[in-house]
């Protein structure tokens, strides 16, 4: 009986902690393609953070450009024992489409391993992606499979938007087909006034002053772009939380940013 009471109390504390988690928006940035000034620039938009799952946009470009990926539903790869499978959606075969939908870590790692360290690093440098550091965790030589997972590869909202702008302008060293296929598997949403959005969430743990992760204080990303006719507007939001929120940090960043951009009095209304 005592164990049941303790478990219930612990659950209540966890629920209260999550409900009390406060979001601090580090940066909200929106920039129309071809413009010399941002449409919106609020906060510390030059602050770098781990790219986390937003890096899947870059991995997708690499995968389609190299021929490792061939379409939204090909290849389908099976789950193998030892793969990261801590979410129920990851415990099944995956395609490029389901990889991005469920943000499947092991599928990303299979792509980068097939690329190999030299091609992977070459793409990151050619993309000018953030700090371009794919070394991974200090002393572990795991950059090929972990550099973007709260590790060495860091990027700012400004750099996220600039990377997406280069992609949309055709300035990255990848094929037009790679860009088109990546667009096809990103989260696609219909917005008011004829806008459509394409984006990717991300979340992880930031580093503290001593270089260790700040456990229980996650960050959340949402990056992508909006389309309407010939207009293209790249966007990024980075948020920090003082405790683990009830919903995923990336979802909170996504819903907050889209709600702001497409509100009746918002920048894209």
Neighbours of 97 (CB within 10 A): 16
Which residues, including other chains, have CB under 8 Å from residue 262's CB and lie 6 or more apart? 191, 192, 193, 195, 268, 269
Sequence-distant (6+) residues with CB within 8 A of 9 are none
Q: Annotated catalytic, 53?
A: yes
Q: How many angstroms separate the CA atoms of 149 and 136, rounded?
A: 9
Among 53, 98, 150, 239, which one carries the catalytic annotation?
A: 53
What sign does the CA torsion over 243, 248, 249, 251 have? negative
Starting from the edge strand earliest in sequence, which strands make up the sheet with 231-241, in order? Answer: 40-43, 23-32, 231-241, 219-228, 196-204, 187-190
The catalytic site residues sit at 53
């Amino acid at each position: 009986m005592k164990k049941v009471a303790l478990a219930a109390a612990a659950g209540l504390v966890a629920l209260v902690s999550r409900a009390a988690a406060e979001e601090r928006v580090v940066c909200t940035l929106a920039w129309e393609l071809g413009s010399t000034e941002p449409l919106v620039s609020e906060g510390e938009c030059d602050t770098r953070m781990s790219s986390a799952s937003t890096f899947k946009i870059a991995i997708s470009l690499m995968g389609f450009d190299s021929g490792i990926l061939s379409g939204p539903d090909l290849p389908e790869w099976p789950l193998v024992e030892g793969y990261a499978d801590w979410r129920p959606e990851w415990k099944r075969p995956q395609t490029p489409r389901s990889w991005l939908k469920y943000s499947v870590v092991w599928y990303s790692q299979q792509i980068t391993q097939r690329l190999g360290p030299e091609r992977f690093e070459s793409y990151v440098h050619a993309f000018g992606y953030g700090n371009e550091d794919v070394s991974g965790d200090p002393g572990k030589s795991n950059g090929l499979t972990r550099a973007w997972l709260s590790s060495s590869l860091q990027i700012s909202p400004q750099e996220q938007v600039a990377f997406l702008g280069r992609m949309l302008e055709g300035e990255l060293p990848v094929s037009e087909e790679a860009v088109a296929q990546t667009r096809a598997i990103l989260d696609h949403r219909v917005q008011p006034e004829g806008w459509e959005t394409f984006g990717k969430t991300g979340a992880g743990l930031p580093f503290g002053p001593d270089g260790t992760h700040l456990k229980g204080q996650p960050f959340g990303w949402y990056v992508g772009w909006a389309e309407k006719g010939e207009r293209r507007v790249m966007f990024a939001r980075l948020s920090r939380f003082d405790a683990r929120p009830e919903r995923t940090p990336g979802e909170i960043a996504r819903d907050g940013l889209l709600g702001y951009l497409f509100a009746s009095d918002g920048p894209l209304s």
